Structure 1
């Protein structure tokens, strides 16, 4: 599964995948979400809802795309952080 952060959605909307230019991207995102391939988290939704644009509307209409963080999820943060740190990302 791929976890989509706010920047992915914001950049998609602002650049090459704007709703009026590439509606197929947003349809694809819906489809792969229904297939269990991708999702995001509630804090990303909350960030998007602070806006006032098409992405705000999309986030409002696609609440199921955003999952809550629970205790089971947070137990994986240490391993994920260690993996990312080991990759040498800057």
Structure 2
């Protein structure tokens, strides 16, 4: 079974821009349903990013996501080592600040990619980041995904792949 690993922007952009909690209740019901079924998961680093604002989105996550939704990222340290080595090897392209931010232990991106890489046949990374290989100030999720063969897509692509409407 395919598992979709969601980035924090899956929640944040939906909440702030596209599907506000108080308007698009069917979207959030579907997210809860997918989480309860284990179709979507995330990691502890994303939880930390979501649970730092004490806002309605954090409340929704606390009250609607099942226990175990946020997976322990320490289980993918081997894969994280590969992602880290790749990022460091790109020091002729990316600015030191970009590499440091990407590899910061509190940042989710490298760990999300590592989590998907750990079961590359069954895990798909869901993010709203788009490829910008020419960019030097930030390592975008699609760049290492492309290098390591990790499948990624945005929320709407995921819903289409799952045949979901709401």
| TM-score bin, normalised by smaller chain | 0.7 to 0.9
What does 1:63-74 correspond to in 2, within 5 Å? Answer: 64=67, 65-71=69-75, 73-74=76-77
The gaps in structure 2 that reach 5 residues or longer are 83-113, 118-142, 150-166
The structure with the greater share of residues assigned to helix is 1
The residue aligned with 2:147 is 85
For the aligned residue pairs, the C-alpha RMSD in angstroms reads: 2.4
With the length of structure 2 as denominator, give the TM-score of the two structures.
Answer: 0.45
Larger radius of gyration: 2
The gaps in structure 1 that reach 5 residues or longer are none
How far is 1:23 from its partner?
1.0
What does 1:4-23 correspond to in 2, within 5 Å? Answer: 4-23=6-25
What does 1:40-55 correspond to in 2, within 5 Å? Answer: 40-55=42-57
How far is 1:86 from its partner?
6.1
- Cα deviation digits, residues 48-74 of structure 1 (max 9, x gap): 111132111122223622121233x34
How many pairs does the alignment contain? 86
